[in-house]
Structures are given as structure tokens and as C-alpha cells.
Structure 1
Amino acid sequence: MDAQDQIDAQPFSAEQVRDALDRVQNSDEFKGSARMRSFLSYVVVETLKGRSDAIRAKTIAMDVYGYDADELLKREGVVRVDAGRVRRKLQAYYESKGVADELVISLPVGSYAPEFLPGAQGNRQTLRRRRRATAISIWLALMFAGVLVGVLIGRTSQPVAPEAGKTAIYDVSPARVEAMNLSNAGRDLIFPVTDPARLQPALLIFQTAIERDPLYYGGYAGAAQVETLFAIIQSGNPVSVELMHAADKSSAYALELAPDAPWPLSARAWFNFGAGNYDSAVRLSQRAVSLAPDDPHVAEFDALISLYTSDFDRVLSKSEHYGKLARNGGGLVFDNALGAAQFHTGDYAAAIRTFEETISRGGPFGPISAAYLMAAHWQNGEQDEAQRLAKVFSDTWPSFPLEALKARVFADPQPVQELVAAMKAAGWSGPDAAQTDAPQPVSSD
């Protein structure tokens, strides 16, 4: 019996099913877990839409958890574990506060499609019979598995994994596909950051992705990264506090939806960095990189966190890897982070080469790169070029608060003092702006 036939055969309307779902979602068993709520909501809604036959582990992995197609084979086990957790939570609810509910949502063993059964006492015998039938089925399955293992013992051929990426995308809901596409497009707009106006389109795209699919983590993760950047750039402005609170909520919810996905981990790391929780930021960022070493967007934020926590050796040690990522579509963050790390470790000639090569390849010549070039030329004994750049900086960006901004992002003030001292020696004089105090931790993971 398919989903619609099942609904029609029972005295339950779609509205009654949704009401039952709301009661379960708001129960003590479910309200503390967004992941379990998302799982149950997805399978119920898909069933009400007549798509119960299409609910599989891979569709849940992509639609609910946002895993990529090439992750499905190793992630389907997570779905099976979560299905068991949902069944246990449903059973606990209907044995306590839901004992008198007229409609029972059941998730049969061996299936991800829920059933909607009559509740109260009339259904208890049905549930007991169902459990006995399930136990017999499991026993028979175990017997068959034992025989199958015996047959397969000694075979040397290795299983060939199906090319999940070629077919799984067709099983994903259109809303999820749109949200994923929007989120990926938004990531490409985050850098380079030169002023808040450039970040606004990216934030709008992430907010649209959230509207399209509120259960996909990408929109929340991207929004958190942009909100944190906004807050850093506008440090000292009252709106900065509001932006950090928004980033806290967005990153926490992304991580709750997908606790082992690299992007939410990276987004939470960046929020923690902005909040001054540097140890947590480094730990989460390095975990994200370990899960997705070839994701250029994860690497970009990791490079910035390493740079601004003065782990210059980490940035330098990854220079070759950053170069590969940049050639495969990574942003210009890598080159700028590398040039800054070279400056702060005293390799001024290398810093000059890195920034100049980046600009020659079409990278932006903005106030940050100009500042480092100016300081590096001065420290490298090339005073005439340093003084020329100081004049260019003062003429082009007379009000850019470089000293205050760098003081905001560097955990240790010494690198900022070294950079500013060299710039002032070259003839630069920044705008009058109060120094921003280091951020105080607002939360921890």
C-alpha cells in the first residue's frame, strides 16, 4: 500500500498527520535534537506528498544532512543509526505523554517510510503483533546473513562501489538542489573582502538558500561566516554585537543539523575566532580541514585563522597545498595569507614576490596588500618604493582604518605593531581612530 492509499484507508487527514507530527516534535523526547526532528519531519512530509517509495538512506543523507553525492556510501550508516534513534524516541513518546494520542506515527524496522496508525488501546494489540512479526523477520534475516557470510568466506574479489554521484542527485528534492546550488554560489562571493557592500550579495544568497530549504545546513553555515566578517569589519559599531549574535545562532544551527560536516565546523570555527575563542576556533578549523582537505573554502578560513592566531609556520607549511587549491578554483586568500606570514617571519623579499605575483595574476590591489608591500619594501631596504606606496595608500584609501582592523583580527598585538611601525617609517599616517579592544569570549564549544 503506497502512502496516499494508506492515508485514504485510515480516518486521518494530512492535517491530522501534521498535527501529530507537531506533538511529537515538541515532546521532551525530540525537542532537544534538531537532527532527529529534521529526520522525522522529512520522512513524514515526503510520505504525505506521495513519495514514500523514494525515501532511501541516500535521499535522507543528501536532503536532511546535506552530504555530497560522493560521501553517500560512507554516510548511509549514519542514516541507519539515526533511524534507530528516531524509532526509540517515538516508542518512548507513545509510551508516556503520547499514550492517549489518536494517531501514532510509526517507523517500521527495515523501512524509512513512516506509517500512520490508530492510537489508543485499540492499536496496542496491533503494535504488539507488529513487534512480534518484526522480531521473526529479524531472526530470519540473521539466519540468512549467516548462510551468506559462510558462502562469501574466502573470496578474494573486492566489492565495487556504485557510482553514487551519477544517480543520487536525481533522488534529491528540487528544493534541496536549489539550496545547495545557491549556497555554493554564495561561497564564491565571500572573498575578497574589501568593504561591507561586497558581502551583502553573499549574505542575501545564503538567506535565500535557507528560505528554499530550512533543513539544509549550507545556508546557515555561509550566513554565519558572512555575519562574522561583517561584525569584524564593523567592529566598534553597535551593529557588530547584533551580527555576532546572529552568527552564533546560524553557526550553531548549521552544526546541529550536520555535526560532522566540514562546512558547519569551519563556520563555527570562524564564529569562535570572531568571538575571541581562539583555541576553540583552531580546534574546529583543523578538524574541518582534516575532514575536507581539498575544500578550498574550508582551507581559506583555516588559513586566516592560522595567520591571525600567529601560527605562521602552519601557513608556510601549507603553501604548496594552497597553491594547488588556488589552481583548482580556490580564492586569493591563500596568497595574501602566505605573503603576510612571510612578512611576519622576516622573509620580506618572499613577501614582496608573493604579493606582486598575486596582483600580476589579477588579484586585487587593495589596502591590505598595499600595506604589506609598503612595509616589506621598507624592511627590505627599498625605501624609495616603500615611500611611493605610502603616498599611493594615503591618496587612495585615506580613511581606511587599517591599524584598528588589524588590531581587531590579530590575537597577539605584536605582529600588528611590527607592520604599522614599518608603514609609519615609510611615511604612512593612518586616520585618527581609537584602537579596538580585543574581543571578549562570548561562548565556547
Structure 2
Amino acid sequence: MRQHYVFVGIFFLLLGVGAGCQNKAVDYKQAAADPEFLHQSVKKLTDVITHDIFSPPVASRVYAYPQIAAYEVLVHDYPAYQSLEGQLNGFKGIPKPVPDSAYCFPLASLNAYLTVSRSLTFSSDMFDDYEAQLYDKYRNMGVPDDVFDRSIRYGQLAAKSILAYASEDGYKQTRGYRHTVSQAPGHWVPTPPAYMDAVEPFWHKIRPFVIDSCSQFAPVRPAVFSTDKDSDFYKEMMTVYETTVKLTEEQKQIASFWDCNPFVMHTTGHVMYATKKITPGGHWLGITGIATRKAKADMMETLEAYTRVSVSLADGFISCWDEKYRSDQIRPETVINTLVDDKWVPLLQTPPFPEYPSGHSVISNAAAVVLTDLYGPSFQYEDSTEVAYGLPVRSFNSFEEAAEEAAISRLYGGIHFMPAIINGAEEGRQVGKYVVTNLKTKK
């Protein structure tokens, strides 16, 4: 009888151990797909982009490729989703995982994300501690050693494929090109205080991700430069001047909240120094993170949102920069100082590139269209993206409302004429709609 009890006891002990092992396996798979790991990785990339002072268009490229890499890996864990192969211009997909082999695809996805991020930024060492801690978390949650190693190898393989894809987009070929400043009236010239060269004058040569070409959604041309007080251009200039000399506190707060100038120069006596800020694209990816958290999106849904928004931002910048250097329009600061008030200074520092159209108006509306498609037209949220840069939280009733505020902030800041804002917003909406229609993530 005692032997019987011993046997029964051992049986239930083994049953319990077996169930424990099974639960541990289930637990690691659930824990591995925590979207917070993705949010933290995006935040880390934003920190590095800010530290490295990438210009807004270049930053949009740096954001896009890691998202695509991560998406293409994680899609293997979610049968309802499909690859972007054949949907992104020139993209032929990534190598397939080995059949009948176990992978932790969330781990592989994050490895691909961080590997591509390292390759596209300067300060790759800034990822070291974060990446080591992330992998320790995966080991500690019970990912088997063979699965861990296989997943890392697959992440590396995917990253290599995406970096090869990125190498063909024209970026390397446009390095070192400079803009020739025109001496003709009404054209862009460098602005104070740093009088920097124009940023990315050949960005229109970068391969877009989804739109057919850089000029597919080109806005109408801006008003012809004129010093005639009855001309459209002169009236647009006076609108900027008259608005900025009587700004309300709310308008000043709006301008500062959406400034997103990654490199602001300050002059104190004979000393000049710079402060770093998040880029416009980084701000909208911050909004994407806020929205997906509020929607309680799983890891795949979160990555879908980040990827679609990143692509819309990148294509928005390519579209916008194409017109900027075709119009080559003078900035308000230059013309107001020349024709109206030589002591006038805009609230925001004028960015170093031509005026038309407004980049923030384009990319904000492109991103807003994509996010509205994902989460609806009445998605209320609190935008805390700029808290890290000393600015308060702002509340919005929709992504469209936020995009409209981002656009008009450029008038309050004194850095854009109204047509650049209005027509830029429409250009962005067209880009966003095109991405929504032509980039299919679900089967």
C-alpha cells in the first residue's frame, strides 16, 4: 500500500513538473511579445537620432528601415498579416525562416530593428547597454538557448537584407551635394543666427517607399515674389508679420510645442551654442506610441502602426523636399527684415532650407491620415511627447486636430507663409491616403 502511495505521489509530482514546464513555455511566448519592448526600442532610436542631430528628412529614413525590418520578421508569428514584399518600391522581401525550426520571432524582430538602427546612426555604442539588458530579459523569461540563438541569427539575416535594400535608395549617392544659392530676388538664402547651408537639396532623388515618385503629389506653385503691396506675396508676408507681433500665450505655446527643430543655435555675446530637439517625424512616432498604448494594441498591431506611420513620414518628406528646392522660396525672416522691419525676429528659429511647402504641415497630415485609418476619426489622446524637452502635455480630440495645430504652428512661429501651410497640409493628406490605399498589412 505504501508503494502505491509513493507511486501516486511521484506520478502527480511528475505531472506537476510537466505542467510547470508547459506553462513556462507558454509564459515565455506571451512575455516575448510584449509591445513595451518595441516602444522602448523606438524610444531608444529617437534618443540616438536626437543625439546625432539628424535633419528631419534623414531622420525619417533612419526611422523607416528598422520598422520595416522588425515588421518583416514578426509577421511570421501572425498569419492574419502579410509581408510588404512587392508593396514597397523595389523591395523583394527578406530570407524565410528555416521550416520546422522553433523561433522566438519577437526577439528576432527586435534584433533586426536594433541591428538596422545601429547601422543607420553614428552613435551605435548608445545601443549597447540597452540591447544587452533587452536580451537578458528574453533569456530570463525562459527562451531556450537554441531558440534564442536561432532567433538572433534570423534577426541578423533579416537586418542584412533590409540594409541591402536601403543601400539602393540613392542616399549614398546624394551625400556631399550642396545647394547653389540663387542671387535672384525672392529665392532662399541662409538665415540667422548660424546661416547654415541648405539641408538635403537632393532629397528628391531618394527612392520613395510607396508613392510612385517625388512629384506625384506636388502642390500648386507658391505666389510669385513681389514687393508690390497689392500683390499676393506681399499680403502673405504681412500676414506673418501682423500675426507674430501680437501672438497670444496659447499661440506661443502651440508654436513651441510643434517646433521640433533638431538643432537650434543660441547666441550669447560672442558665444554660440546649440540645443537638440526631437524631429517632426520623431514627434509623430511618439504620438503613435501613445495611441497604440491607449488602444492596448498587441505587438504586431503596434508594429503595424509604427511601420505605416514611418513610411508615410518618409514619403511625405521626399514629396515635400522635391517642391522645396523647385520653388526655392525665400523665408519670412529674410523678406520681412528687408522690406518691413529689420529688427523683427520670428518666435521659432528659421530652419535651414527653402520655405515652400511647410514640411511639418506635409508630414503631420500624412501621419494623421494613417493613424486615423487605424484608430478612427475621434481618437482622443494626451500628447506627452515633448515633456522630455521641457514642454507641457497637450490634449487632442483627433489626429486630424493635432495635424491642423502642427501646421498652423508654423505661422505662429513666423517661419512659413500661409500657402505653404494650407497647400502643404493637402499634399500630406494625399500622401497619407496613398499609403493607406496601397500599403496592405492585413490579408
TM-score band by shorter chain is under 0.3
Q: TM-score, normalised by structure 2?
A: 0.28
- State the structure with more CA Rg: 1
Q: TM-score, normalised by structure 1?
A: 0.28
Q: More helix by proportion, 1 or 2?
A: 1
